[in-house]
């Protein structure tokens, strides 16, 4: 075991008592994503002792000169290659500044839907490109998704810079193209960093091989990002009811759900369907063992109210800023299956805890990711991995609002009404270009 790596007992030890930033890695296949994640874990001394020992042995067995850092995350990659599972892997690491939860997403274009999953809860996206190939179609696709999901900070790691002799000209050309595209898509804080995940240049430690680059390392950017941007607890209170709990013997009536945005306290006035208002009298915890005076986004609670009001699953309890009910809305969707979503198609819409009948009234535009052919206007349908602007109609009034707060509100699923297959993920009110 390397003497430089401390023993970490569990993920909870890594993130306890520290401000936590959620980030996501993305990029094309073979851009060095596994090695990059391994480098972050290793150089921040966030590797379990037995894991590091195993990687050292495996690297030696393979004749690798030093540590093959990709082996730190190769377990999931092997599963992908064998077809066992295609999923997002979550890694945990920390520095003196803060803790990090990293979503490691697949690189292949066919798993773009998993990239959407990883980015949907992330505040920063680290996008990897190979310095020899530069910005490619998959780079633009992932950058577009990041913009669509409201990610404020995107870091482009121009990886394998050592394979182009640490060329400033190569880096500047890639940086220029990336920055222009990020600006076009509305990404507020784009950063480009020349890195070598294999050698360790500018990932955690400043490179000694690029005197021409005076900017921050990737880790320095991650440590400096404002964690509070877009947090669900900064928004008005939202609790979609998942279950109504009745106990006739004790006259107990509670409304259980997960707080998706904002916070609530005992004594707060809340707003219910049809403009009714009442007051929160009790906040019961999910285990039923204790009561709380306040609860915030991410917590599952049961609310008891001052008035006996008939509410059902799918109803929305809010603060004073209640969204207006609508029967149609504009959105952007990402195709998640090989089954096309067609204009005029009848579907089910899952919004929060509501599941109602709906219709794709129109597919207005399918975005062209590589800028070769141009956007398809009124194409009539969208397929797997397509990103499209659509108009959705619903059979009954729905309280929707623009996508915000890292998915706390405004996101929905389009579901096949016959098979139950999830056809697309949608974002209310979002428009690109």
**Domain ranges across the chain:** 11-224, 232-318, 325-428
The predicted pLDDT at position 141 comes to 85
The helix (run of H) or strand (run of E) holding residue 334 is: strand 325-335
Q: Which residue has the tokens 């019961």?
A: 284
CA separation for the pair 158, 132 (Å, rounded): 9
Instruction: Please indicate whether the domains covering 232-318 and 325-428 agree at the CATH topology level.
Output: yes
Dist CA 432 CA 115 (whole Å): 18
Q: Could you tell me the CA-to-CA distances from 339 to 79, 401, 419, 420 in Å, in that order?
A: 25, 27, 11, 12
Please state, in angstroms and rounded to a whole number, the distance separating the CA atoms of residues 334 and 111: 12
Consecutive sets of 10 residues in the chain, 433 residues long: mean pLDDT of each? Answer: 40 59 86 85 74 65 65 54 53 88 75 76 92 92 86 94 97 97 91 94 95 96 79 77 88 91 93 91 78 87 92 92 91 89 96 93 84 60 88 94 73 93 87 54
DSSP 215-248: S--HHHHHHHS-TTTT-GGGS--EEE--EEEEET
In the DSSP assignment, the letter for residue 409 is B
State whether residue 424 is helix, strand or coil: strand
- pTM to 2 decimals? 0.74
The predicted pLDDT at position 72 comes to: 60
Q: What is the token pair recorded at 32?
A: 């060095």
Pairing of strands 300-305, 277-285: antiparallel
Other residues' Cβ atoms within 10 Å of the Cβ of residue 321: 12
User: Do residues 386 and 335 make contact, with C-beta atoms less than 8 angstroms apart?
Assistant: yes
Residues 6+ apart with CB under 8 A from 75: none
**Distance (Å, whole) CA 28 – CA 137:** 9
Architecture of the CATH domain 325-428: Beta Barrel (2.40)
CATH topology of domain 232-318: Elongation Factor Tu (Ef-tu); domain 3 (2.40.30)
Distance separating the N- and C-terminal Cα atoms of the chain:
52
All residues at 6 or more sequence positions from 300 whose CB lies less than 8 Å from its CB, including other chains? 256, 257, 258, 259, 286
What backbone phi and psi angles, to 5 degrees, belong to 97?
Answer: -80, -45
Q: Which of 73, 67, 70, 92 is nearest to 8 (CA)?
A: 92
Selection from 206, 222, 205 nearest residue 45 by Cα: 205
- What would the 3-class secondary structure string for 338-374 be? CCCEECCCEEEEEECCEEEEEEEEEEEEECCCCCCCC
Say which DSSP state 293 is in: S
Other CB atoms within 10 Å distance of the CB of residue 267: 11
The dihedral built from the CA positions of residue 144, 149, 150 and 155, taken in this order, carries a sign that is negative
* Predicted pLDDT at 84: 33
Query: Nearest to residue 162, comparing CAs of 200, 108, 106?
Result: 200
Q: Quick one: pLDDT at residue 29?
A: 76
Residue 368 class from Cβ within 10 Å (0-12 exposed, 13-18 middle, 19+ buried)? middle
Contact 142, 125 (CB under 8 A): yes
Q: What is the per-residue pLDDT for 228?
A: 62
pLDDT score of 48: 60
| CB 100, CB 93: distance < 8 Å | yes
- Residue 278 corresponds to which tokens in the numbers above? 């009442």
> Which CATH code for domain 11-224?
3.40.50.300
């Amino acid at each position: 075991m390397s003497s430089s790596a401390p023993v970490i007992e569990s993920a909870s030890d890594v993130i306890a008592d520290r401000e936590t930033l959620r980030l996501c890695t993305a990029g094309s296949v073979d851009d060095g994503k596994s090695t990059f994640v391994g480098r972050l874990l290793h150089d921040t001394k966030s590797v379990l002792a037995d894991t590091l020992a195993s990687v050292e042995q495996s690297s030696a067995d393979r004749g690798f000169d030093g540590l093959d850092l990709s082996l730190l995350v190769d377990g999931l990659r092997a599963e992908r290659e064998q077809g066992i599972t295609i999923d997002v892997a979550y890694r945990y690491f920390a520095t003196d500044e803060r803790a990090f939860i990293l979503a490691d997403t697949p690189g292949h274009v066919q798993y773009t839907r998993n990239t959407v999953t990883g980015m949907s809860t992330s505040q920063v996206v680290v996008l990897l490109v190979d310095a020899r190939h530069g910005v490619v179609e998959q780079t633009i696709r992932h950058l577009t998704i990041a913009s669509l999901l409201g990610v404020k900070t995107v870091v482009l790691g121009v990886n394998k810079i050592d394979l182009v002799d640490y060329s400033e000209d190569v880096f500047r050309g890639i940086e220029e193209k990336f920055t222009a595209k990020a600006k076009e898509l509305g990404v507020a804080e784009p950063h480009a960093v020349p890195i070598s995940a294999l050698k360790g240049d500018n990932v955690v430690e400043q490179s000694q091989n690029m005197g021409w680059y005076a900017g921050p390392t990737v880790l320095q950017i991650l440590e400096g990002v404002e964690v509070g941007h877009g947090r669900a607890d900064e928004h008005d209170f939202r609790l979609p009811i998942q279950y109504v709990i009745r106990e006739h013997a004790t006259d107990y009536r509670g409304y259980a759900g997960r707080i998706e945005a904002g916070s609530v306290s005992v004594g707060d006035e809340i707003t219910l369907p049809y403009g009714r208002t009442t007051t929160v009298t009790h906040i019961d915890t999910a285990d039923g063992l204790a009561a709380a005076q306040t609860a915030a986004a991410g917590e599952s609670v049961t609310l008891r109210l001052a008035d006996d009001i008939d509410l059902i699953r799918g109803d929305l309890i809010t603060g004073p800023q209640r969204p207006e009910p609508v029967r149609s809305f504009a959105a952007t969707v990402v195709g998640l299956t090989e089954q096309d979503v067609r204009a005029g198609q009848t579907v089910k819409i899952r919004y929060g805890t509501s599941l109602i009948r709906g219709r794709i009234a129109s597919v207005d535009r399918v975005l062209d990711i590589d800028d070769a052919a141009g956007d398809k206007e009124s194409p009539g349908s969208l397929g797997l991995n397509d990103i499209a602007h659509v108009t959705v109609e619903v059979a009954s009034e729905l309280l929707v609002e623009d996508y915000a707060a890292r998915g706390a509100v405004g996101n929905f699923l389009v579901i096949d009404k016959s098979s139950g297959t999830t056809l697309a993920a949608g974002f209310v009110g979002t428009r690109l270009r």
